[in-house]
Amino acid sequence: MSSNSCWVLTDGKAGTRSGALGLAEAVGLPVIDKHVSSALPWRWLPPYLWPRGVLGVGASADPLDPPWPRLIISAGERAVGPALEIKRRASKAVYSVHLQHPRVDPARFDLVVVSSHDGLHGPNVRVITGALHRVTADLLAEAATRFARSLEHLPRPRVAVLIGGANRVYRFDERTALRLADDLAALARDRGCSLMVTASRRTGAANEALLREKLDGLPVEFWDGTGENPYFAYLALADALIVTGDSVNMVSEACFTGKPVHVVHLSGGEGTKFERFHRALEESGATRPFAGRIEAWPSAPLDERTALADEIRHELRRAGADV
């Protein structure tokens, strides 16, 4: 027994959840967002060691009970076990899609979507360059309308500057912040650009203060963290973008705009999948390294979600789903 809905199964991490929800929303079925957590001993075991018949859900997880959905979109390693067990119990009534390398035979899912840096291939594997997300053309248009008046004082060209920070792979120290601040100040002071800047908690209070000090008095709008977040408006109203390379999602969202995206490469990441991610984007023409100036080159919106959603809808309709 199944319902004409889509379950999104993730561990709740923002980037993982955003990509799965973005694809689910593009497919068009009613979406039910479910957080999964694994009970012991399953959280200690990789998915390929889970036996048949085990959902493995912990007490903090959302219930996973019939009626089963028509579509499951799971993402991340913790969602693999529950997704496969639901598919086994529901048989052909559920179409299963997994995002990211599942660490099991991809043939156990109907469709697996991975980034090119994952190095996974197979008949039912779709390889994408960027990361899936929830940004849409309608979302950007609405944000542009809401913020257009408050940002109209900024002269063109307008450059959106999206600053992340340190994580388990990359470093963002005072030296990095100072170099970036000097480059941004030169853009605004000497090259006629205005800047729309947003920082994250990972930027660090001291680094953000340094950036603000260096950009003070220049044609810069630096979001102070109060009121509505202008992030999507910055994407929509920019003529070009500068993004720190620590966030796969942030870079991919910037590339969705189809505008020139300049990546600030931080220390760390050498020899990792993140380095391969950035290389793939550069080779595709979606990004270039930020070298202190704004460049222009032919680019198109990086929208891999639409083709995936079309393929999933096609398969669902073949199975009799109303979508």
Residue 25: predicted pLDDT: 97
Residue 322: predicted pLDDT: 78
Tokens coding 95: 């179409």
Query: How crowded is residue 288: how many other Cβ atoms within 10 Å of its Cβ?
Result: 15
Same structural domain, 193 and 124: no
Residue 108: predicted pLDDT: 95
Same structural domain, 167 and 199: yes
Same structural domain, 100 and 212: no
Kindly report the CATH number assigned to the domain that includes residue 174: 3.40.50.2000
Kindly report the CATH number assigned to the domain that includes residue 115: 3.40.50.2300
Tokens coding 52: 């048949």
Structure confidence by residue, pLDDT tens digits, 58-70: 877 899 999 999 9
Asked if 20 and 75 count as a contact pair (C-beta separation under 8 A), the reply is: yes
Same structural domain, 112 and 51: yes
Same structural domain, 126 and 148: no
Same structural domain, 144 and 240: yes
Same structural domain, 25 and 58: yes
Rounded Cα distance between 59 and 69, Å, is 21
SS3 sequence of 182-194: HHHHHHHHHCCCE
Beta sheet of 287-289, edge-to-edge order? 220-222, 194-199, 158-163, 240-244, 261-264, 287-289
Question: Which residues have C-beta within 8 Å of that of residue 245, sequence separation ≥ 6?
Answer: 170, 251, 263, 264, 265, 266, 269, 274, 278
Residue 269: predicted pLDDT: 85
pTM of the complete model: 0.92
Residues of the chain with pLDDT under 70: 1-2
| Backbone angles phi and psi of 111, in degrees to 5 | -150, 135
In a domain, 323, yes or no: no
Residue 2: predicted pLDDT: 63
Residue 226: predicted pLDDT: 92
For the chain, the domain total comes to 2
In a domain, 124, yes or no: yes
Mean of pLDDT over the chain: 93
